Structure 1
Amino acid sequence: MKSSLAGLGAAIYSSSLVRPPPFHGRVSARFVAVREMSTSCTSFSTRVFQLRRDPLTGDSEWIVVEEGGEGEGGEGKHGAKCLLATTSYLDMLNDSCRNRAFRAAIEKTIKGPCHVLDIGAGTGLLSMLAARTMEKFGESSVATVSACESYLPMGKLMRRVLRGNKMEKKIKVFHKRSDELVVGVDLKSRAAVLVSEILDSELLGEGLIPTLQHAHDMLLIKNPQTVPYCATTYGQLVESPYLQKLQDLFHGEANLSDGVHLTCPGLEGIMGIKKQQYAMHCDAMFNDLRLLSEPFKVFEFDFWKRPESHGEIKISVKASSEGNANAVISWWVVQLDYEGSVVYTTAPRWITRTDDIKEATCVPDAKDWCDHWKQCVWFIPGPGLPVSKDENVVFNATHDETKISYHLKCDNSLIYSNTYGDCRLELSPERIALYGDRDWRSGLMTAMRNILHAQSSQFCVVADDSVFLTILTACLSKNATIVSSFPGLQEKGEKYLQAVANANGFSMDRIKVMGMRSPNLAKNNLIQRKVDLLVGEPFYYGTEGALPWQNLRFWKERTLLDSVLSEDVIVMPFKGVLKVCAMSLPDLWRSRCCLENVEGFDHSVVNETLGACGNLPRMIEGPCLPYYVWQCGEVQELSGVLPLMEFDFANPIHSCSGKTKMWFSKPGLCHGFVLWIDWVMDEKGSVVMSAGPASRYQKQGVKLLSQPFNVNTTDCFVEIEASFDHSSGEITVSSFFSPLQSGS
């Protein structure tokens, strides 16, 4: 049996790309499509192998999604339903302003029967809009809509949507990447109109440029019509101590005196972030910003012609205020039709609409919060770039096939451009800020001092990816022997420690980095004596954006090492406490609520698969999803914070459950519950590290209700139950409102 591997994404992605965008950025899991030839060599079937990570072990496994079985769910034995629930498809389809804009532009663009190509078709909305537009011109043999969607589970879901809207005979679906389509084989002819929405917050990150290049070369007629028609990116210089903390650990540590050095002179950038734009809800941090310039235009992209792979522009910006520029905040404006009457922008709310879009339709306003498109932040390294009022700040902007970069000449740029090789650790901005947070570091230092004082014999295992705890233990105890598992960082973590060892006053002779998971540490007798201390933050590299209880992997690691733990072993954290708070989350709830009529097309069939959380039948529960709650638009607490369940790390991992009765502290519309884990670091409970909404650097879990509830009196209460399955690492949450509670 022969097979061939198809690459990532629904559009063309070259193997040379530095940052290949998976599934147009809307699907978090990885997949590989395999087309298998039957023994007759005349027919093909398609399977998708989808990568799924076990939250308790960190192991990844390839699950098979079969092409067959397009009935309810249609996800096969292992299914992709839970993975599709974590994508932004639902949020995107709930963006009514976006949907109206594409409908208006498609109706203006299509002037008669023609061949329309939809790349990255998703649920098929744009394809159906195009087919419906052509219906008013009458039947024609040359009227065709071709929909390309390479991600098989989404393609199967699209077929269900098409059938539900009686559109399956009007739209031909291809489960392929666009660069796999061949005119004369798949497509009868080149397309006259391209409709496609493969835009991310940065504009280019979903493979827009290579997709358009191939389409213009191989799939479209000369001078085609396109929706969108063109796009322009904009930027603005800002000062923000908050944004500085997200990337400048060196100067953050300079303000501390705790004796732990994750960076040091000469190695200022040895721990930092990747040099790229980061999508963020900048409106949520407006009070932490000072605007230092007016908006400036960066790049213009024409979709109706073949784009260039690379571009560079010199920008001169007049500073409107004196300050220290810490970042460039950027956004885009897309003109969807030729005339420029239909426009969509991702600009933050403080931006006054420019003259060219004031008269356009479908421009989002302040109430149109969405999560699938945000603003982007490009960090200026170190303490930033000092600017004076009315000074002309000159810098370059460049783009390649997938990203836009800014190049500002600031005094500290040289030390941050050093090449550290394999020694440099690149972490998320939130993790960098957490490592520089005075209170967070002080809490861990206090807990470790108490533990080391109580434990005379010190053979310590760091069971996660915490370089901080490894360095802290070595600094606080001059005779401790330390084994760091570093399951994610692996050898890179060891090289980093070697680079900063002298600055922290310890020798690597006392530290052994295994670079492997706990089962291997125990089974291979790599630990030669009983472990006195088992510690973790907990933190696992690469899972910063996951649900908070995925850090319960620490409990699993502790259990796998049970055979090498001493009888009086001290485990830190000592326990975890799942906390809960009832909240009003109207913006988030709207973005995740069930779909019904989307621009005249029934989308109700997608709700369960895409993890809809609102307007579900009461017996169907939506998933818990990870969010930075402080960035979720309008947010209001309606209750106090209560403990819901405890995880006892002193004993091996086991299933557990808990429940609480929560009284509301104020009236309002309750949309769901926010959950997180407070890590109790010692047995006395003197040090507690909370990952709640007050922390801007860690995500919480959000459980939205199937129906929001109107809390019209503080005499109402809700009973909440939660259970933890130790075999899967999943937590299920259910709630029961008191009879006094009235629904909305």
Structure 2
Amino acid sequence: MKTFCGRANPTTGALNWVEESDEYDYHQEIARSCYADMLHDRDRNKKYYEGIRAAVSRVKARGERVIVLDIGTGTGLLSMMAVTAGADFCYSVEVFKPMAEAAACIIKKNSFSEKIKVINKHSTEVTVGPDGDMQEKANILVTELFDTELIGEGALPSYEHAHLHLMQAGCEAVPHRATVYAQLVESEQLWSWTQIRPIQVDGHVLLPPAAVGQCPGVPAVCDIQLSQVPPTAFTPIGPLCTMFSVDFSRPVSSAARSYTCRFVVKAGGRAQVVLSWWDLDMDPSGSIVCSMAPSWTYSDPQEYPWRDHWMQSVYFLPTEKSMCEGEELRLTVFHDDYSLWYSLLDGEQADADDNYSRPCCTCQGHLVWTRPRFGELNDWQRTESYLSALRSVLRPDSVCLAVSDGSLLPVFAHLLGARKVFSLENSGMSKQVIEQFLEANSLKNGVKLLAIRAEQLTPADLEEEQISVLMGEPYFSTSLLPWHSLFFWYCRTALAGLLRPGAIVLPSSASLHLLAVEFQDLWRIRAPCGTCEGFDVSPMDEMVQQSLDFRESREAEPHHLWEYPCRALTKPCPVMDFDFQQCVPEQPIISQGTLPLIRRGQCHGFALWMEYSLTDDITVSMGLTKPVNEEGECVWSPHRKQGIYFLQTPWESSDDGWTAVSYNLTFDPSVGDIKMDFSAIQP
């Protein structure tokens, strides 16, 4: 049976009705889950196994039957570990039905069905008793309910309920304890992700609205691979602080709480950002530790266990504060049942009150712009590229129209002397944010903001003027993959009748670039698992393969590649061009070719990104920002996500392996997407 799903197309802006199987959500959830990453996390698996064996031994030493409750069982791996360690019975709870079915299949394949019962419910709905889901309460609680922020997946309410209703008094827990750490730092790089700096524009200083500078920002945690932010990018203001611990073997409360750490400023500077991560003690003695600390905290970085399902967190203070060496500070962390946030007090301020309200954006800017977008707006080299391009095309009689979301280009055009400037804003919220900028800089009459779509624009909206300069970054909040920003091209096509003959389109064109890469670690998130810690989990691989085969063609995925080191195995190459001087064609754009191998390695997939030609001699890249060096090291733009097409099986470049890659790309203008196919060329 087929169903039709309405999907907003981020490239064309249209609503497409796509025929899907009834199992579409199931396939997509399985394909894009993080289970492969977790199963490949040997450090995590090893520490859990050691902790489970130790807990089973402690319960057996007391002469008790070992009954295990595994909440959030996923593939059932931890349950199988428990039974192998000597547990008498295990209840495995998994709320996501496809994963519960996968767990049951994996458990059966490993011959554990008699000792493991899979319960497809949320743990708070599980019952105990003769007619319940569990025949008796458990005395070992095994969970993997954690996210980068530790408690963001509802760990505290789940533990609270389990101790009240599902566990025996004096039970064991694996992990036994979690500890949250934090460090206050100054970092221009990280601070640029939450505040707009003043911008110099030909003698003018464009200031951010006061509301943006005073706003505490968006409440969602900023989770990143902090190992890829070098220690040179920040200066510690204080020591690494132990903020709080949670003992999972005892009753847990999900009530809001706060914890404060006092310390003396070790180096003067501006307190801006809190770096945070956590550790898991798998046993009461703390001898089995699974740490989320970034690689630069290790004496030997080679010992760092890479993982992507758990990363590190960055929290931004509501406002930056200047600190002097020797000053006493109090860093306070607050948490509700799902999230953390931080505040800072000096020695003369009153103690933090019991206000547990989460910070939230009051200026709307943090809702319109993502953190990478803040960084992009603060990138002075990028800004200078756009300013240089505008200077070369603007004339005193120029009538400009900007097409981007929440862009400052129309403000730049006005300051550079354009006669009239209009700007299309797809949302009322982004329109209000730009209005704040105009008002803060006394430019309200300089730019006319239009909350209207390109195809709805009329000559009356433009005051009967014809557009002489159509410009865009292009940036759109709905874009996921690099080519989704071609929405600018569709807008340019819709506006063709409003353009003056010979009108300038900036950027004038774009090109899609391609590079075969070997990942240092990212390959793990899509690699087959096969056997994990001696258990056959291949049914997961089969389910993932089914989900990939379900799609007519495999799709690229968006990733911030600056967080994931990789080596270039071919030269970067432009593989498809898009001419914005012309309207979107009706026929597909097809590109075929080959890329020779120039470095040996294991090809895990292909990186794809867009580059925009603003003028004949000014280009901005949304991918590589520096030439690839002799070793193949790649430096990626942190402001945009690049596309990654993962190979189902990596290609080895041995003596009899592949020597080049052939590509076949088709851009379908009717849907705005790119179908792609790659094959290895043998010697």
Question: TM-score, with normalisation over the residues of structure 1?
Answer: 0.76
2:7 corresponds to 1:55:
no
Aligned match of 1:30: none
* 8 Å CA contact 2:407, 2:473 repeated in 1: no
Which structure 2 residues correspond to residues 662-673 of structure 1 after superposition, within 5 A?
662-673=595-606
2:661 paired residue number = 718
> Where does residue 125 of structure 1 map in the other structure?
77
Structure 2 equivalent of residue 484 of structure 1: 424
Q: Distance in 2 between matches of 1:56 and 1:315?
A: 48
Q: Does 1:439 align with 2:350?
A: no
Q: CA 1:423–1:246 in structure 2 vs 1: closer, same or farther (change >3 Å)?
A: closer
Confirm whether residue 573 of structure 1 aligns to residue 507 of structure 2. Answer: yes
Say whether residues 1:659 and 2:614 are aligned partners. no
Q: Distance in 2 between matches of 1:717 and 1:423?
A: 46
Q: 1:289 to 1:445 in 2, by over 3 A?
A: same
Q: Residues 169 and 408 (structure 1 numbering): CA distance in 2 closer, same or farther, change over 3 Å?
A: same
**Aligned-pair CA distance for 1:376:** 1.4
Q: Deviations over 1:660-702 (max 9, x none)?
A: 43234444444333221102234x3534344334422222222
* 2:611 alignment partner, SS class: strand
1:288-687 to 2 correspondence within 5 Å? 288-304=233-249, 305-351=251-297, 366-380=303-317, 384-388=321-325, 390-409=326-345, 420=362, 425=367, 427-453=369-395, 456=397, 458=399, 460=401, 462-477=402-417, 479-486=419-426, 490-507=427-444, 511-514=448-451, 517-518=453-454, 521=456, 533-541=469-477, 543=479, 546-559=480-493, 568=502, 570-607=504-541, 609-610=543-544, 623-633=555-565, 635-649=566-580, 650-652=582-584, 655-682=588-615, 684=616, 686-687=618-619
Write out the 4+ residue segments of structure 1 that deviate beyond 6 Å after TM superposition.
48-52, 59-65, 523-528, 619-622, 711-715
Partner of 1:146: 92
1:226 aligns with 2:173: yes
Number of residue-to-residue matches in the alignment: 647
Once the 2 structures are TM-superposed, how far is the Cα of residue 170 of structure 1 from its aligned partner?
Answer: 4.5
Aligned-partner Cα distance in 2 for 1:91–1:474 = 49
Structure 1 counterpart SS, 2:213: coil
Q: Is the 8 A contact 1:670 1:711 kept in 2?
A: no
Distance 1:538 1:114 in 2: 60
Alpha-carbon distance, 1:566 to partner: 6.1
Matches of 1:177 and 1:418, distance apart in 2 = 29
User: What residue number does 1:356 align with?
Assistant: none
- Distance in 2 (alpha carbons) for counterparts of 1:718 and 1:193: 52
Deviation of the 1:321 alpha carbon? 4.0
Residues 1:601 and 1:316: Cα distance change in structure 2 (over 3 Å): same
- Report 1:180-329 matches (<5 A): 180-183=125-128, 184-250=131-197, 253=198, 259=204, 261=206, 263-264=208-209, 266-269=210-213, 273-275=217-219, 277-286=221-230, 287-304=232-249, 305-329=251-275
The amino acid of 2:11's aligned partner reads L
Secondary structure at 1:607 match in 2: helix
User: What SS does the corresponding residue of 1:298 show, helix, strand or coil?
Assistant: strand
Does the 8 Å contact 1:310/1:401 carry over to 2?
Answer: yes
What's 1:161 paired with?
106
Cα distance, 1:170–1:525 mapped onto 2, change above 3 Å: farther
Q: What secondary structure is seen at the aligned counterpart in 2 of 1:540?
A: coil
Deviations 1:200-226 (A, max 9, x none): 111111111122222223333333332
Deviations 1:365-410 (A, max 9, x none): 635222111121223455554342x554333222221222221247
**For 1:188 and 1:64, how far apart are their aligned partners in 2?**
44
For residues 245 and 497 of structure 1, do their structure 2 counterparts lie closer, same or farther at Cα, with a shift above 3 Å needed? closer
Kept after mapping to 2: 8 A contact 1:121/1:147: yes
2:662 maps to a residue whose letter is E
Partner SS, residue 502 of structure 1: helix
Contact 2:424 2:453 in 1 (8 A): no
Sort the Cα spacing of 1:622 and 1:276 in 2 relative to 1 into closer, same or farther, 3 A. same
Q: In the alignment, is residue 90 of structure 1 matched against residue 36 of structure 2?
A: yes
C-alpha distance in structure 1 between counterparts of 2:367 and 2:664, whole Å: 40
| Alpha-carbon distance between aligned partners in 2 of 1:52 and 1:700, rounded to the nearest angstrom | 22
> What is the root-mean-square deviation in Å for CA atoms of aligned residues?
4.1
In structure 2, relative to structure 1, the CA distance for the partners of 1:443 and 1:91 (3 Å cut) is: same
CA pair 555-83 structure 1, distance change in 2 beyond 3 A = farther
Task: Judge conservation of contact 2:275–2:314 (CA < 8 Å) in 1.
Answer: yes
Do the aligned partners of residues 484 and 426 (structure 1) sit closer, same or farther apart at CA in structure 2, a change above 3 Å counting? closer
Deviation sequence 1:320-369 (CA, Å, 0-9, x none): 4444444221111101233433220001223258xxxxxxxxx9963522
Shift of the alpha carbon at 1:232?
A: 0.4
Q: How far apart are residue 105 of structure 1 and its match?
A: 1.8
Q: Structure 1 stretch 371-380 or stretch 402-411: which is displaced more? A: 402-411
TM-score, normalised to structure 2, is: 0.82
Query: Aligned equivalents of 1:49 and 1:194: distance in 2?
Result: 42
Question: Matched residues in 1 for 2:374 and 2:398: separation?
Answer: 32
Query: Against the structure 1 CA distance between its residues 82 and 703, is the aligned structure 2 distance closer, same or farther, given a 3 Å change threshold?
Result: same
CA–CA distance in structure 2, aligned partners of residues 398 and 53 of structure 1: 38
The sequence identity of aligned pairs, in percent, is: 27
The amino acid of 1:554's aligned partner reads F
Report deviation, 1:717: 3.5
Residue 285 of structure 1 and its aligned partner are, at CA, apart by 1.6
- Structure 1 residues 166, 298: closer, same or farther in 2, change over 3 A? same
Aligned to 1:78: 24
Q: Work out whether residues 146 and 155 of structure 2, in 8 Å CA contact, stay in contact via their aligned partners in 1.
A: yes
Secondary structure, aligned partner of 2:412: helix
CA displacement, residues 679-738 of structure 1 (integer Å, 9 cap, x when unaligned):
2234x3534344334422222222333224236799944333333334444434433444
Which whole-Å CA distance do the structure 2 matches of 1:596 and 1:715 have between them?
25
Q: 1:79 to 1:661 in 2, by over 3 A?
A: same
